[in-house]
Amino acid sequence: MSNNQNKPKECVQFKHDIDKSRLFYMHPLIIMVMLDMANWHMERGIPFIVTSTMSTIHEDLELKRVSSTHRTGRAFDFRVKDLSSEQLSELVNTFNHKYKTIAATTHELEQKLILIHGKNANRHAHVQINSLYIMSGI
């Protein structure tokens, strides 16, 4: 066997290396949620690919983000194209319930951990925790 065959699979994959390196600036609670979601995916044999973590003000302006959740270390995005609609619904319901007490408050004044954003190739899950957990940023 080669060394690659003995190497365990990464439970969290990152689309961009910079997002992996920025993990250390994020709030520990959002990292805990990320690892819990990675475990959920692993149990079902589904890849868990994080597409965005911490960001700068300049990146948020360029992406036309409407909230500061990425910039303040309280959010990450992950790819949903590997999930069936039933799996996505199960994941959203499970985690919105499990982490309701730390979830961010939406514009509709609801506590929600996961929001589904975008269309087509840009469709993704946005995972966010409450503004009580703001980090200083990068």
What domain range is 33 assigned to? Answer: 10-132
The CATH number assigned to the domain holding 105 equals 3.30.1380
- Examine residue 35 and state whether it is found in any structural domain, yes or no: yes
Long-range CB contact pairs, 18-25, < 8 A, 24+: 19/50, 19/51, 19/52, 19/53, 19/54, 19/76, 20/50, 20/53, 22/53, 22/54, 22/138, 23/53, 23/54, 25/54, 25/73, 25/135, 25/137, 25/138
* pLDDT above 60 for 1: no
| Predicted confidence (pLDDT) per residue in 73-96, tens digit | 899 999 999 999 999 999 999 999
- Examine residue 137 and state whether it is found in any structural domain, yes or no: no
| Predicted confidence (pLDDT) per residue in 10-35, tens digit | 789 999 999 999 999 999 999 999 99
Q: Is the pTM for the entire model greater than 0.85?
A: yes
- Examine residue 5 and state whether it is found in any structural domain, yes or no: no
Stronger pLDDT, 85 or 55, i.e. the higher one? 85
- Examine residue 72 and state whether it is found in any structural domain, yes or no: yes
